Structure 1
Amino acid sequence: MSPSHPRNPRQVINFSKQKGKEIIANFDGGLITSDAGIVWIAELDKKLGITEKFGNCFQDHRHQSYVDHSVHELLAQRLYGIILGYEDVNDHDKLRHDPALKIALEKLNELEDKKGWLAGKSTINRLEYCPETILDQKTSRYHKIEPNFEAIEKSFVEFFLESYKKPPLSIILDMDVTDDQVHGNQEGAFFNSYYHGVCYAP
């Protein structure tokens, strides 16, 4: 992840000399990232069209003249962040300045421009958070991106079928449980002899 506010490249920090040699630190390395691999992930995504098709499963009720980040861009940024290991939405207040993520989202020509900043946590949160009490995104002040859950479920099946040259005649779903160990008196937990402990095993 790159720093949220790039330092002045002319800034120099002088440390104490050691054996007559000067020790200095400067910041003329330019924009640096440790997440360059996301550029290749983005290329694969563009080839398969995953985030683009996934974005079509949402209806955007925002006034488009005020929109800086499309639904597709928000989805791609969020998913790319998760792929990089940044699961928390708060991470995007720093990730929005990351040069590799900007390149992945085709903001290459705006690396130094504030207009090229990616979405921050508050904007992405509007994509994810929609209380059940909000029944109409059109009239809601903040939650105007409406997911079509039926289309989302269908898209997962389509992604799976597209991974085959010829659609399979049948699909076998092998459902397996995952144990969730508990260490107290949580309601609903029980001892499972297979997992050798008290757990939830849905």
Structure 2
Amino acid sequence: MVTLTQKTLDFNHKIKLSNDGGSLSSDTGEFLFREFDEKIGFSKTLVKYLRLNDSRKYYLHSNENLLRQKVYQIIAGYAEDDAADQLTHDPVFKEIVGTPALASQPSLSRFYTRFDKDSIEQLNLANQEMLDKIHCFRQSKELFIDLDSTHSDTYGDQESSSYNTHYGTMDFHPLVA
């Protein structure tokens, strides 16, 4: 029988991943995402650009950790904010985010209210920096643009809609790249 070898993580040398049947968690795969995050500097890039309208005087969770928690929850399949209440003391997620306890659902909800148009633009700049890193790493010489059509049903007398025999409905059929 073949098993995975033990792997020590660069971002936290105390954590060792193995498949020997020891202490189990269904979310330990998140450690690999955190390791990848550290390798490409994803969280550091977000911290560099993230500026929110934050008037809090006292807080337990930084905006950066709240964003990291939300990103890792989504990666693990916990898309709803209510999952944060179940994960508050989860040992895997506490290590991934790097905090003694995770934020609760109300803390995440308040976090979203601190975003404005400028905050979104700053995240777009962070996204562009990450894309630039990828293009630099890949040393891309060519760009392929895939053109395809899509289908969107319409109801009533929508202007510019037409009958699509393939779908048997009235629809828009735009070309997207």
* TM-score of the alignment, normalized to the shorter chain, above 0.5: yes
The CA deviation at 1:72 is 1.1
Q: Note the alpha carbon deviations across 1:148-188, whole angstroms, 9 max, x for none.
A: 22222222222112013376567555465554668xx5785
1:69 equivalent in structure 2:
61
Greater helix content: 2
1:160 equivalent in structure 2:
131
Q: Note the alpha carbon deviations across 1:122-156, whole angstroms, 9 max, x for none.
A: 1111222x3xxxxxxxxxxxxx4555222222222
Whether 1:81 and 2:73 are equivalent positions in the alignment is: yes
Which shifted more, 48-57 or 191-200?
191-200
In structure 1, stretches of 5+ residues that fail to align are 1-30, 108-115, 131-143
1:51 equivalent in structure 2:
43
The CA deviation at 1:50 is 1.2
In structure 1, what residue type is equivalent to 2:55? R
Q: Note the alpha carbon deviations across 1:75-131, whole angstroms, 9 max, x for none.
A: 110000100111111111112222111111124xxxxxxxx2200111111222x3x
2:101 equivalent in structure 1:
117
1:34 equivalent in structure 2:
26
Q: Does the CA contact (< 8 Å) of 1:39 and 1:104 recur in 2?
A: yes
In structure 2, what residue type is equivalent to 1:43? E
State which structure, 1 or 2, has the greater radius of gyration over its C-alpha atoms.
1
In structure 2, stretches of 5+ residues that fail to align are 1-22
Residues 168 and 197 of structure 1: CA distance in aligned 2, closer, same or farther (over 3 Å) = same
Higher relative contact order (CA 8 A, sep 6+): 1
Q: Does the CA contact (< 8 Å) of 1:33 and 1:100 recur in 2?
A: yes
With normalisation by structure 2, the TM-score equals 0.65
Q: Does the CA contact (< 8 Å) of 1:161 and 1:167 recur in 2?
A: no
Whole-Å Cα distance in 2 between the matches of residues 187 and 103 of structure 1? 55
Q: Does the CA contact (< 8 Å) of 1:73 and 1:105 recur in 2?
A: yes
Whether 1:97 and 2:89 are equivalent positions in the alignment is: yes
Whether 1:150 and 2:121 are equivalent positions in the alignment is: yes
Residues 39 and 148 of structure 1: CA distance in aligned 2, closer, same or farther (over 3 Å) = same
The CA deviation at 1:36 is 0.9
Count of residues in correspondence between the two structures: 147
Q: Note the alpha carbon deviations across 1:4-57, whole angstroms, 9 max, x for none.
A: xxxxxxxxxxxxxxxxxxxxxxxxxxx863111101111111221213322332
Whole-Å Cα distance in 2 between the matches of residues 200 and 120 of structure 1? 42
With normalisation by structure 1, the TM-score equals 0.58
Whole-Å Cα distance in 2 between the matches of residues 39 and 159 of structure 1? 20
